[in-house]
């Protein structure tokens, strides 16, 4: 399941780069829509293979009805979201973000109510899962910056030069971006590579070089000044989005094999322990990016793409210890009649984490020293790790009482 998702995630960025380079941005976005539509068709055709798993659990006394959920959860969420949208100013950066966070509050309260009203047997596992949801939310808040902060890093701070031997082969299949050093009309950028806008809200223009060349090395600049018409071949920024799924595909057998070896020696850690380990490793990936900032003198010069490969590699191991394990933990610990509901709670934590990721990423330009930005991410994951350690004992106890590992 997890490998399948990431095989698609690896390939799609390559297709996106191809479509953008050969046809343009519009066609690339259309391709994404077509891909989603094809996925829906494939799901519809293959639904017969999973229909047997769609078993309705028998209704028990105290179960919450759909109408009750609509009245007690969705209606308050809609009202809260509307309040978040119309309140003056912004609390979390934008009207849409305020609306989302406000709308989540009744849903979170609903899950807390489930815990409070649960019987003694169910209360411990439900409480354990709610704690996991809280720490996993912090993980996703950092992890999902692959599409924001880390993409900015790849675009402006990373040396994307293609080796000479690969220039023509990759160009023939439209997998490189090409530029030249000629002076032309370009958008004005500040020292953080942020587009400068005029009073009309539109980007200011000036005569100059492409923004990519702002922080190239002295040797590269001297070579290009001598031959400004020379075509410069660069890896597309979107290709860096395939690093994480590449690591998932490459490291999943390694991680699985490692834990199987520990199992044979009767030393395999529990699922909650793996999750805490994943949080700690993810925190370490932020330190790699701190080092990358120092290596490039905070953007004064571009750094090797190996920094991103290393950061993604470490956080991917953390992901493999946390994401599939989290799903497994929900299915193992949840009371049978609310397994689907608790699975929804796990994905709610992912959703809130994604939104928090956007809030964090919006603070990128607030930190002139980008190392401080990654230090903040490290601190968040370190706090999540410490919280995980604090609840590890009761989590393991709940697992033991349920007879699972």
Res 151: pLDDT = 95
Cα-based torsion angle of the residue sequence 42, 45, 46, 52 in order, rounded to the nearest 10 degrees? 140
CATH architecture observed for domain 122-160+237-405: Up-down Bundle (1.20)
Say which range, 255-264, 349-358, 376-385, 392-401, has the weakest mean pLDDT: 392-401
Taking only the tens place, the pLDDT of each residue in 28-42 is 999 999 999 999 999
Tell me the domain boundaries of the chain: 65-117, 122-160+237-405, 161-236
Average pLDDT over residues 210-224: 94
Res 56: pLDDT = 63
Say which range, 60-74, 231-245, 261-275, 386-400, has the weakest mean pLDDT: 60-74
Split at pLDDT 50, 70, 90, the class of 361 is very high
Taking only the tens place, the pLDDT of each residue in 95-115 is 899 999 999 999 999 999 989
Q: Can you read off the two tokens belonging to residue 100?
A: 């989302």
Split at pLDDT 50, 70, 90, the class of 58 is low
pLDDT at 167 over 80: yes
Q: Can you read off the two tokens belonging to residue 56?
A: 């309705």
Beta-carbon contacts of 240 under 8 Å, excluding residues fewer than 6 positions away, are 150, 151, 154, 158, 305, 308
Q: Can you say whether residue 298 is alpha, beta or left, with left for phi > 0 and alpha for psi between -120 and 50 degrees? A: left
Taking only the tens place, the pLDDT of each residue in 168-210 is 999 999 999 999 999 999 999 999 999 999 988 899 999 999 9
Split at pLDDT 50, 70, 90, the class of 69 is confident
CA angle 162, 176, 151 (to 5 degrees): 85
């Amino acid at each position: 399941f997890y490998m399948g998702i990431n095989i698609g995630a690896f390939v799609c960025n390559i297709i996106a780069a191809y479509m953008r380079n050969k046809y343009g941005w519009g066609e690339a976005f259309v391709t994404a829509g077509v891909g989603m539509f094809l996925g829906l068709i494939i799901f519809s055709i293959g639904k017969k293979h999973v229909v047997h798993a769609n078993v309705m659990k028998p209704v028990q006394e105290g179960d919450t009805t759909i109408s009750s959920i609509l009245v007690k959860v969705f209606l308050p969420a809609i009202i809260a979201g509307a309040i978040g949208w119309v309140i003056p100013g912004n609390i979390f950066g934008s009207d849409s973000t305020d609306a989302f966070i406000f709308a989540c509050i009744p849903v979170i309260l609903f899950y807390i109510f489930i815990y409070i009203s649960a019987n003694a047997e169910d209360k411990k596992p439900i409480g354990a899962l709610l704690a996991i949801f809280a720490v996993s939310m912090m993980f996703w808040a950092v992890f999902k910056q692959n599409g924001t902060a880390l993409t900015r890093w790849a675009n402006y701070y990373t040396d994307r030069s293609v080796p000479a031997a690969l220039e023509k082969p990759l160009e023939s299949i439209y997998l490189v971006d090409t530029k030249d050093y000629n002076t032309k009309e370009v958008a004005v950028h500040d020292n953080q590579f942020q587009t400068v806008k005029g009073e009309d809200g539109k980007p200011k223009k000036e005569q100059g070089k492409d923004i990519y060349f702002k922080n190239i090395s002295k040797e590269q600049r001297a070579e290009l000044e001598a031959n400004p018409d020379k075509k410069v071949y660069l890896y597309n920024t979107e290709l860096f989005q395939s690093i994480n799924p590449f690591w998932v595909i490459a490291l999943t057998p390694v991680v699985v094999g490692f834990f199987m070896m520990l199992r044979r020696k009767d030393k395999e850690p529990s699922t909650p322990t793996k999750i805490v380990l994943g949080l700690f490793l993810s925190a370490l990936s932020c330190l790699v990016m701190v080092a990358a900032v120092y290596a490039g003198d905070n953007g004064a010069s571009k750094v090797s793409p190996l920094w991103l490969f290393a950061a993604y590699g470490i956080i991917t191991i953390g992901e493999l210890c946390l994401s599939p394990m989290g799903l497994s933990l929900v299915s193992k610990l949840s009371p049978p009649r609310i397994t689907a509901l608790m699975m929804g709670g796990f994905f709610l934590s992912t959703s809130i984490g994604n939104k928090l990721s956007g809030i964090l990423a919006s603070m990128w330009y607030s930190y002139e020293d980008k190392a401080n930005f990654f230090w903040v991410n490290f601190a968040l994951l370190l706090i999540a790790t410490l919280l995980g350690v604090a609840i590890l004992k009761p989590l393991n106890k709940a697992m033991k009482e349920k007879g699972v590992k």
